[in-house]
Each structure stands twice: as C-alpha cells, then as structure tokens.
Amino acid sequence: MLHRVIALVALALTATMALAQPMVSAADPRAAAAGVEMLKKGGTAADAAVAMMLALGVIEPGHSGIGGGGFLVYHDAKTGKISSYDAREAAPAAADGRWFYGADGKPLGIRQAIPGGRSVGVPGELRLMETAHAEHGKLAWSALFAPATRLARNGWAITPRFNNFLTKMPATGFFNAWAKSYLYNADGTAKAVGTVVKNPELAALYGNIARHGPSYFYVGPPAQTLVATINNAAHNPSKMTTGDLASYKVQERAPVCGTYRTYRICGMGPPASGTVIVLMILKQLERFDMGALGKGSPVAWHLFAESSRLAYADRDTWLADPDYVQVPVQGLLAADYLASRSALISPDSTMAAIAPGMPAGAPALKRAELQPEHGTSSFTAVDRWGNVAEGTVTIESVFGSGQSMNGIFLNNQLTDFNLVPEKDGVLTANRVEGGKRPRSSMSPMIVYDAAGKVRIAIGAAGGSTIIAQVAKALVGVIDWHMSAQDAISMGLLYAPTPGGVAEKDTQLEPMLPALAALGEHLSVAPLGLKANAIEWQSGAWAGAADPRSEGVSMGIDGKVVKPAMAALQRDRPSE
C-alpha cells in the first residue's frame, strides 16, 4: 500500500512539473531567445538545446560553435531515464605521443601548440545536435536552424564582454583575412560595442546543413575545406584526413551518478572529468556540517579548498578517455576511498602537500601538470513535459586554434591532452593517441531530490574552474539552502593546487585573514566564471544565470531574468 502511495505522489509531482512554465538559461540572451522560440513551437528541451547551440556558435564564436564539441545530459520525464552524450573532439588517426613536439625534437610550450592546425580535433558538436534531436526532438531538423541563421545573415551586435575578448587577444596574427575583417577594423582595433556584424558564410553553411543534414559537414565540401585548412596551416600543420571526419561518432555513455546528503547527482562520465571530481569534492565534505558552518564561515571555505585540491590531484592523474585508458571511476567514488581522502582534511590547518590517491582499479600512471583551459559556453532547457537538457560546448581557447573556414572558428581541443606523454618515465593517462578524446573539465549535471524528481540542472564555462563552480553552487543550494541564482552569484575560492584564488570583490575577501590563519595562501583576482542553471523551487521552475556573464534565463512568457553584478554575494564572514 505504501509503495502505491509513493508512486501516486511521484506521479502527481511529475504532472505538476510538466504543467510548469518551460524555460531556458543560456550564456547570451540571443541564444536563450532561440531556445524559447523552439519551446513556443511545441519543441522539446532537446530542440531548444540544439537551437541554443547553433545560436551560440554565431554570437559567441570565440567560445563555441560547430567547429568544436561538447557534452549533453538529458532527463526524459516520461521514463525517468538520464542519458549522457559524449561529443568531445577526437584526435586524428595519425596523432601519437609526439604530436606536440617540434622539429628540434623538443615538446612545444602551450602557447606554441595552440595556434595553427595541429591543435584541431575532429569537431563533434554538430553530431551531438543530430543525436539529441533524433532521440529526443519533436520539431523538424531544419526548423532548429532558423533563429541562428537569421542572426548570421541579418547581423548581431558586439557586446561589451565580446569586445573585451577581442581587445585582449594576445595576437591576431594567427587569424586569416576573413576573421580579421569580420571582427576587427582595418587599423587592427576591435570592432566597437554595438557594431552589427554579419556572417553570410555561416548563414550559407547552416542553410546547407539544415537542408541536407549533418553529414553535409562531415563528408561534403566543408570536410574537404576543413582538412585543407588545417593541413596547410602556416603554423603547426596537421595530418587530419577526410576519413577522420567521416568516421566520427557521438558516444552515448553511461552517466556517472552519486549521492550527496539526500540528493542524487548525475552527469557526464569520462572523458569529462567534471561529474567524478564534483562528486569527490562533495563526498569528501559530507562528514563536515557545512550547513551549520554557513556560507560566511572561513572554515567552510577552507574545507572546500582542501577537498578541491585532493580531487583535482586525482583528476590530473586518473581521468582520461575510457576507450584508451583504464579509468578507475568506481574506485574514485568508492565510500572507503573517499573516506580515506576526507580524513586528510582538517578544519584547523592546511595540508602541507597534495598528492593523488591510489583508488582500486587504478593502472600504473603518473600525474601530469594541470592543463590550462579557457573557452566554453553552457545552457539549460526544460520543456512543457518536464524533460531537461543540460549541456556544455566549447572550442577550447578563445577563438580556438585561430583557424577558420566557412564562417566558423576551429577548436584547439587537442591541447587539452598532456603535451608530453610521460612523466618520470611513466605514461600519463591523458596523453595524445590517435582517435582519442582529450580530458575535459566540463560538468553538465542534473540533481535529483529524495523523491527522485529533478531539483536542479546546472553547468558552467570557464576551463578548469568549471568543476569548482558547479561544486560551489551545489554546496550553496544543498547545504546553505540558497537559490540557484544566489549560489551561482556567490564568490568562488578556486584551489586546484596548493594555494588558490579567492575571487575579487566577493564575500571571500573579508575572510582572507581568517583563511591565512588556517594556513591558506591565497591570491585575490577576478575569475572568468559563467554558470547557468534551472531549478525546481516552490512549485515552479526558476532560472539562474551568472551575473559575471551576459547570460539570462528566459521563460516562454517572454520574461527575462538578467542578474545584475550587484547579485554577487559580498556578505561579511560570521564571527
């Protein structure tokens, strides 16, 4: 009888969630509007997600686009199933451990390796759109392209944030003539805020893909253009073939799930490292009463930093493409292993040294240095049926490799591999291999409450800070009972290694003396954070977007929620 009552309650909750207003959250209001347009037409969360990805490729060309890749997790409201799709870029078959070595036989530095052709992986984002639409979409494929094609054809205005990226580019010399004329004035200065720029090449490409399907990009003329572009690059020419593009497939992988307090958290597994490492950070904190400490406690933030350092050390050692390396996911998330790692954390002092652990099932591998990551965009969608899509897409660095064709920029995702394949004579997990997909920090995640209903879907952009952003927001929502908006707005203590960064102009700055007394040696700096979320709150969906970005949440009633910078949490620490 009790089971029947529980089932009836769950059914009622599902019906209520399905009646709630559909909603999206994205890193740019024009992308959010594209998603809402699909929802208004009766589209699913998958349809909205595809439309947002396409639009982001137009108005955030420095961060994402079909020249890159990404990950998507999807909750099917009818079945309760969560699916996760790996569209990470792949290395050409010709790649090997010395892919990023120069003619002198020495490994390239990261700044040498990024520009040119060799850093470009086989793009996966368009195949991700195809898969999500085929499995979860309702609208016609061609309809999903309409908003983005309008933006590319009719033009879009350069925003302050985008202008800032253009102005701060260390060098534009690796852009071709088209890219320079598209985004820069004749004198080399960035086009001003408000300037409307058009991309007819991309509009034409989108039109052909809308009519002929994704294979037009992977086996048609664009494939030949892409290969010729990067293989004939003036800097670091590649050895990609049209066969590398034609054989690319999205991998539907089993989601990684774990618990924190009474919540179940699910997301993308390797080669994405985010879900595993977020879960490790949270589980290592679970023995501490984070709720009682509160968001204004220096001790709470010290604990968060210490747990982050331990988890990132394991990330840099064990996480990689599971099709090429034995990744000990179960060992890393095992209760006894996490308890042993958590035992290293003290509320009164900072660890003198950080080393990776030895989880069950771990192969003989060496820890590599933390690889820098930069670009990326995230988005969330919930439809009228209660389906939820959470995705993160990227071309890696700002403007990727700097190579462009047909109005798109090509990724530099292969520099997410370890540029040197071994350390101290032992191979590293994330070394370059032909066909392999590089490790990623992207962390699209869906969180369920004790009744099994979606509590929050969340993701972020910002390279390796993504993991810390999502973990921080979940501590805020779960332990400190904050709204998703307030949790995202809260300042971040980012500590992937000894030391760390306390985000400037946030609630963390007044805590610095107390944190120093605990042994924390922190610098203070702004962090390029950019998170998005949708949560179930008080019987309705509520969107959240990062006030540091130009992102918004938007419902199909047209209401736009754009958090102001004043939303950044600057509370004084507790006494």
Looking at residue 415, its pLDDT comes to: 96
The per-residue pLDDT for 565 is: 54
Q: What local confidence, expressed as pLDDT, does residue 571 receive?
A: 42
Active-site annotation, residues: 376
Among the ranges given (8-12, 186-190, 520-524), the one the predictor scored with the smallest mean pLDDT: 8-12
Whether the predicted pLDDT of 141 surpasses 70: yes
Rounded CA separation 376/325 (Å): 25
When comparing pLDDT for 351 and 564, which is higher? 351
Share of the chain above pLDDT 70, in %: 92
pLDDT in tens, 90-122: 999 999 999 999 999 999 999 899 999 999 999
Q: Which of 210, 327, 566, 271 is nearest to 442 (CA)?
A: 271
Report which of 77, 113, 71, 33 is spatially closest to residue 394, judged by C-alpha positions: 71
Alpha-carbon gap, residue 156 to 195, rounded angstroms? 8
pLDDT cut 90: percent of the chain above it: 84
Could you tell me if 63 and 56 are in contact, meaning their C-beta atoms sit under 8 angstroms apart? yes
Q: What is the pLDDT of residue 66?
A: 98
pLDDT over 80 (residue 412):
yes
pLDDT at position 170, please?
A: 53
Angle at 545 between CA 136 and CA 564, to 5 degrees: 155
Instruction: Specify whether the CB–CB gap between 199 and 54 falls below 8 A.
Output: no
DSSP 568: S
437-448: pLDDT as tens digits: 999 999 999 999
Question: pTM to 2 decimals?
Answer: 0.93
Pairing of strands 523-525, 501-503: parallel
Peptide bond into 255 cis (omega under 30): no
Structural domain spans, the chain: 1-155+198-575
**What is the number of alpha carbons within 13 Å of residue 235 lying toward its C-beta?**
17
Residues 205-246 pLDDT 10s: 999 999 999 999 999 999 999 999 999 999 999 999 999 999
CB atoms within 10 A of CB 64: 33
Instruction: Write out the DSSP string of 61-118.
Output: TTT-STTSEEEEEEE-TTT--EEEEEE--B--TT--TTTTB-TTSSBPPHHHHSSSST
* Mean pLDDT, rounded, of the chain: 92
Residue 423 clears pLDDT 90, i.e. is over it: no
Tokens 């924390």, residue located: 520
Compute the distance between CA of residue 399 and CA of residue 396 in angstroms, rounded to an integer: 8
pLDDT of 154-174, one tens digit each?
999 999 989 988 887 754 456
Asked if residues 316 and 356 have their Cβ atoms less than 8 Å apart, the reply is yes
Residue-level pLDDT at 2: 39
* Cα 180 from Cα 62, distance rounded (Å): 13
Report, as an integer, the average pLDDT of 135-156: 98
Which residues does 443 contact at the CB level (< 8 Å), separation at least 6?
267, 268, 272, 274, 275, 277, 278, 392, 459, 460, 466, 467, 469, 470
The predicted structure's pLDDT at residue 368: 56
pLDDT of 569 reads 54
Query: Tokens 């300042």 — which residue?
Result: 491
52-76 pLDDT, tens digit per residue, is 999 999 999 999 999 999 999 999 9
CA distance 58 to 70: 16
Q: pLDDT (tens digit, 9 = 90+) per residue, 346-380?
A: 999 999 999 999 999 888 765 655 555 455 899 99
Phi then psi for residue 86, to 5 deg, are: -100, 110
pLDDT (mean) for 325-330: 96
**Residue pointed to by tokens 């191979």:** 427
Q: Which helix (H) or strand (E) holds 477?
A: helix 465-478
